[in-house]
Amino acid sequence: MEMASISSSPRTVEEIFKDYSSRRTGIVRALTYDVDDFYRLCDPDKENLCLYGQPNESWEVTLPAEEVPPELPEPALGINFARDGMNRRDWLSLVAVHSDCWLLSVAFYLGAQLNRNERKRLFSLINDLPTVFEVVTERKPVKDKPSADSGSKSRGSTKRSSDGQVKSTPKLADENYEEDENEHSETLCGSCGGNYNADEFWIGCDICEKWFHGKCVKITPAKAESIKQYKCPSCSMKRGRQ
C-alpha cells in the first residue's frame, strides 16, 4: 500500500490537494464505475475490510494497516459486514460518507504543519469538489446524467401534507429521474406561471396543492425546512384560489 509519512519534507497546499483529489478519484471510481468489482470484494465473510483511495487514483479493498498507530488515519473498518444487511444503494451511500470523512482526515493530517490561512485555502480547494457522497447519490453528475441533475438536496422541497404524506419536488436523481421530469414538465408556478425547472427550488402549498418558485413566494430552502405546513400567499389570506 502507498503510505506517506508525516515526517517527510513539508508539503504545500497544492501537494496535499493533489493527494486528496487523487485518492478521491480512486474512491469515486470504486463506488461508481467499478462498483460491481467493489461490491464483490466486500465479502461479509471476510475480516474487517477498508476502502483505500491511493495517490495514483487507484482504489483498494484490504485489511487495515498493521502498524499502531498507522502512518495515516484509517478508513472506516468493516465496511463489508453491512453489505448484505442493507439496500445496496444505501450501503454505497454509507461507505461514501465514511470515505469523505477519511479523505478530509488524511488531508488535514498531511497538512498538520500548515498555518491558518493555508488550511483555509486547502479546505476551499477541497470544498469546490463534490463530495464522494454527492457523486454516489447522484446529487452531482458523474457520468451520462442530465445537467439538471447537479442540484443539492436543499433544492427540492419536502413538505408534509395534512394527511401525513411527504410531498416533494421530483429532485431525486435515481432511476425514475426522466419519468419524474416528464411527469412534472407541465407544472406551472402558481405565482409567475413559469414552467417547472429542476434546477430551481420549488415549494408546494399544503392547502391548495399548487407549486411555487421559492423566490416568487420568498421562501428559501433553509426556511422551508422549519415550516411544518406551508400555506401559499393566497391561502394565507383565505382568498381560496388565485
DSSP state of 57: S
Return the closest-CA partner of residue 196 out of 214, 182, 204, 184. Answer: 184
Say if residue 208 is in the same domain as residue 127. no
Final residue of a structural domain among 137, 164, 197: 137
Say if residue 109 is in the same domain as residue 17. yes
Q: Report the run of H or E that residue 200 belongs to, with start and end.
A: none
Say if residue 117 is in the same domain as residue 58. yes
Say if residue 27 is in the same domain as residue 106. yes
pLDDT of residue 183: 52
Say if residue 128 is in the same domain as residue 234. no
Q: What is the pTM of this model?
A: 0.56
Three cell numbers at 206? 399544503
pLDDT in tens, the chain (242 residues): 444 444 455 689 999 999 999 999 999 999 999 999 999 999 999 999 999 999 999 999 999 988 888 889 999 999 999 999 999 999 999 999 999 999 999 999 999 999 999 999 999 999 999 999 999 998 754 444 333 443 433 334 444 334 444 444 444 444 444 444 455 556 788 878 777 776 778 888 888 888 888 888 888 887 877 777 888 888 877 644 44
The pLDDT tens digits of the residues spanning 79-108 come to 999 999 999 999 999 999 999 999 999 999
pLDDT of residue 62: 94
206 within some domain? yes
Q: Report the C-alpha gap between 59 and 191 in whole angstroms.
A: 50
Residue with grid cell 476502502, as numbered in its chain: 51
DSSP-based three-state secondary structure for 134: helix
Q: Report the C-alpha gap between 108 and 190 in whole angstroms.
A: 48
DSSP state of 86: S
Say if residue 20 is in the same domain as residue 131. yes
Say if residue 19 is in the same domain as residue 122. yes
pLDDT of residue 8: 54
Q: Which long-range contacts (CB under 8 A, 24 or more apart) does 106-113 make?
A: 106/19, 106/20, 106/23, 106/72, 106/73, 107/16, 107/17, 107/19, 107/20, 109/6, 109/72, 109/73, 110/4, 110/6, 110/11, 110/16, 110/19, 110/72, 111/11, 111/13, 111/16, 112/6, 113/10, 113/11
88 within some domain? yes
How many structural domains does the chain have? 2
In this structure, what CATH number is given to the domain that contains residue 227?
3.30.40.10
pLDDT of residue 140: 54
The answer to whether the CB of 19 falls within 8 A of the CB of 57 is: no
Domain extent, residue 196, equals 187-241
Contacts of 238 (CB under 8 A, 6+ apart): none
93 within some domain? yes
162 within some domain? no
123 within some domain? yes
The pLDDT tens digits of the residues spanning 106-142 come to 999 999 999 999 999 999 999 999 999 999 998 754 4
